[in-house]
Chain A
Amino acid sequence: MSLTQKSATEQLALLQSGELTSVELTQAYLDRIQAVDSSVGAFLRIETESALAQAAGIDARRAAGQPVGKLAGLPVAIKDILCTKDTPTTCGSKMLENFVPPYNATVVEKLLAADAVILGRTNMDEFAMGSSTENSAYHPTKNPWDTTRIPGGSSGGAAACISADMAPLSVGTDTGGSIRQPAALCGCVGLKPTYGRVSRYGLIAFASSLDQIGPLARTVEDAALLLEVLAGHDPLDSTSVNAPAPAYSETVNQPLENLTLGVVDHHFGEGIDPEIVSAVQKAIEVYESLGATIKHIEMPHADYGVATYYIIAPCEASSNLARYDGVHYGYRADQAEVMAELAEDGSDEGPLVRMYRKTRSEGFGPEVQRRIMLGTYALSEGYYDAFYLKALKVRRLIRQDYDNAFAEVDMIIGPVTSNPAFAQGEKNSDPMAMYLEDLYTVTANLAGVAGISLPCGFTENGLPIGLQLQAAPFEEEKLLRAAQMFQTATDFHTRRPELS
């Protein structure tokens, strides 16, 4: 097994024992990226120099017997949505092509404090809006298992870099499934923590009440290790919960006794690929063989999740993205062109208003504009009650479904997606078809509960299939232990895509 195929936990042990230096490890990943990323496109930027410098510094400190952080020397890839001081942060958008934040996101601070080596920035759907990473303003990312297919999204680069061994750990964000869906389609582990578990300070907002940062990794153990560093209270985020973050990596290998898993029969209804049904059902049998009890439960409002989500998320987005107006940072339309355009169409619109409109129409891609339009419409006078307020009420019903379920079972087990990775371009012209991809993932965001996706099989064509476990708020520890039980009993996570 090559160095980059080892898990982060194994690599960390080698670093700690002195058998491996961070510079060696970092260089190995830089070489791997050099070799395969041209066919995957997981990264937007590779930070070779700073990564090697950071690695050398950590090696020196470790060699001198000085204290080092929890992840000391492990490379980490960061989704290009987390602000990093003095380093471009684009959010996959032309709007922020030249944006250089003057501050660090809290999780970036935490990673630096843990002595993680920042390898580079991963590709994503523009402003995290999308399920295929085709909405990146820079280039699409491809699925390492089949480069004619999409890797999922919006954290497509974050999942693809793990799956193609270009990073041992990566940080993504999940607003409606943006960690779990690409993890499922790329065959890696992705965890969306409970809303409030990880600070959102410095995460470029898509939908503030749904966004959450989480880890992607090859193994559940590695995800536990990274979550441990990311989680915790942050006084800079009012929605961050003031509760201690457990040492997940220390308990992840303890199996759960008397585990009760809930199965929603509805999840296996119309529209889901039979190969996925069969893989997930086999996974359920694995849990049964490990002593888990299976209970059939109802989630009566789950079918309304996508509709609820595609009101709430665009509403919040329309407001969150109002700041991109070409005044204080980011892209601005050419002033001479603005004036020429105004003169040409004889509009009485002021130059400022036209500057805003031209800037935003040129700086945002079509999917982002569509969601801004939807949200603006749904919040506007006369429609607020029918759309936004209605959606907030259904959101409550969905949360109640979860509360009722977790009164009966420890976790809900089911699929992540209804289909394996689809072909590039397949759903581009049909936004609604793309939105329905989020069926199984959006409800966790709406309710604020934790969810994890882990590999549970492959299609005949060799495409990965994901298994989703969802747990009650702040039960990440149990979620990781249950997921680890599955990985201990199976080997899906050890398979590798063939990349030339």
Chain B
Amino acid sequence: MSLTRQDVEKVALLARLKFDDDQLDKMTSHMVQIIQYVDKLSELNTDDVEPMAHALDINNALAEDEPRPSLPREEALRNAPKRDDECFLVPAVLGE
């Protein structure tokens, strides 16, 4: 499986990361190396194997619909990098 610098650039946008040229080269070579290694899984035939997303087989962890107190607004906003009295602030979100 090949992975180009352009592919890595595309993934960086998806992941909301940004690299300069040097970082991009290094990231590409590291990712190529790791992907080559993990590709060893393709040696195994897994046609009839059920995927295992959880380490344990439990179901139905459900909670009753009973309200609990929310955080005071000041607590909720305390860690915000930018805020006003009521809300979190971010650079303009235009459109939807």
Determine direct contact between A and B, CB below 8 Å.
yes
**Which A residues fall within an 8 A CB radius of B?**
98-100, 102, 194-196, 209-210, 235, 238-239, 241, 301, 304, 306-308, 310-311, 318, 322, 325-332, 335, 338, 350-358, 360-361, 364, 369-370, 372-374, 376-377, 380, 386-387, 389-397, 399, 431-432, 435, 445-448, 473
- Chain B residues with CB below 8 A from A332, complex form: 81-82
Q: Is the C-beta of B69 less than 8 angstroms from some C-beta in chain A?
A: no
Known contacts A195-B56, A308-B41, A351-B92; is A370 also within 8 Å of B27 by CB? yes
- Chain A residues with CB below 8 A from B67, complex form: none
Our pick among A238, A354, A393, A446 for the contact of B55 (Cβ within 8 Å) is A446
Contact sample, A vs B, 21 pairs, CB 8 Å cutoff? A196-B58, A210-B55, A239-B58, A239-B61, A301-B44, A308-B41, A322-B16, A352-B91, A356-B16, A357-B17, A360-B16, A370-B27, A372-B15, A373-B12, A373-B31, A390-B46, A392-B52, A393-B52, A399-B52, A431-B34, A432-B33
A299 to B7, CA, bound (A): 36
Residues B36-78 near A (CB distance < 8 A): 37-42, 44, 46, 49-56, 58, 61, 63, 71, 75-76, 78
Known contacts A102-B75, A330-B81, A373-B11; is A393 also within 8 Å of B49 by CB? yes
Known contacts A431-B30, A432-B33; is A325 also within 8 Å of B16 by CB? yes
Q: Is the interface of A mostly helix, strand, loop or mixed?
A: helix
A386 to B76, CA, bound (A): 41
Known contacts A393-B50, A393-B51; is A102 also within 8 Å of B14 by CB? no
**Which B residues fall within an 8 A CB radius of A?**
1, 3, 7-8, 11-19, 27, 30-31, 33-35, 37-42, 44, 46, 49-56, 58, 61, 63, 71, 75-76, 78-82, 88, 90-94
The 4 closest A-B pairs by CB, nearest first: A448-B55, A329-B79, A392-B51, A238-B61
**7 further interface pairs, Cβ-Cβ under 8 Å (given A353-B16, A396-B51):** A196-B58, A307-B40, A352-B93, A373-B27, A394-B41, A432-B34, A448-B55
Known contacts A390-B42, A390-B46; is A473 also within 8 Å of B37 by CB? no
CB proximity of A327 to chain B, nearest CB, Å = 5
Residues B58 and A241 in contact, CB atoms below 8 Å apart: yes
Known contacts A98-B79, A102-B71, A350-B94; is A209 also within 8 Å of B54 by CB? yes
Residues A431 and B33 in contact, CB atoms below 8 Å apart: yes
A37 to B71, CA, bound (A): 37
A386 to B35, CA, bound (A): 11
A23 to B68, CA, bound (A): 37
Residues A370 and B31 in contact, CB atoms below 8 Å apart: yes
- Chain A residues with CB below 8 A from B42, complex form: 386, 390
Residues B76 and A102 in contact, CB atoms below 8 Å apart: yes
Residues B52 and A395 in contact, CB atoms below 8 Å apart: yes
CB proximity of A330 to chain B, nearest CB, Å = 7
Q: Is the interface of B mostly helix, strand, loop or mixed?
A: loop
- Chain B residues with CB below 8 A from A357, complex form: 12-13, 16-18
Known contacts A102-B76, A311-B38, A352-B90; is A331 also within 8 Å of B51 by CB? no
- Chain B residues with CB below 8 A from A239, complex form: 54, 56, 58, 61
CB proximity of B67 to chain A, nearest CB, Å = 15
- Chain B residues with CB below 8 A from A102, complex form: 71, 75-76, 78
- Chain A residues with CB below 8 A from B39, complex form: 307
A318 to B75, CA, bound (A): 27
A399 to B44, CA, bound (A): 15
A26 to B27, CA, bound (A): 46
A391 to B90, CA, bound (A): 37
CB proximity of A336 to chain B, nearest CB, Å = 11
A330 to B82, CA, bound (A): 10
Residues A355 and B90 in contact, CB atoms below 8 Å apart: yes
CB proximity of B4 to chain A, nearest CB, Å = 12
CB proximity of B46 to chain A, nearest CB, Å = 4
Residues A330 and B79 in contact, CB atoms below 8 Å apart: yes
- Chain B residues with CB below 8 A from A377, complex form: 3, 7, 11, 31, 35
- Chain A residues with CB below 8 A from B27, complex form: 369-370, 373
A339 to B37, CA, bound (A): 40
Residues A307 and B58 in contact, CB atoms below 8 Å apart: no
Residues A328 and B79 in contact, CB atoms below 8 Å apart: yes
Q: Which residue of B lies closest to A375 (CB)?
A: B15
Q: Which residue of A lies closest to B58 (CB)?
A: A241
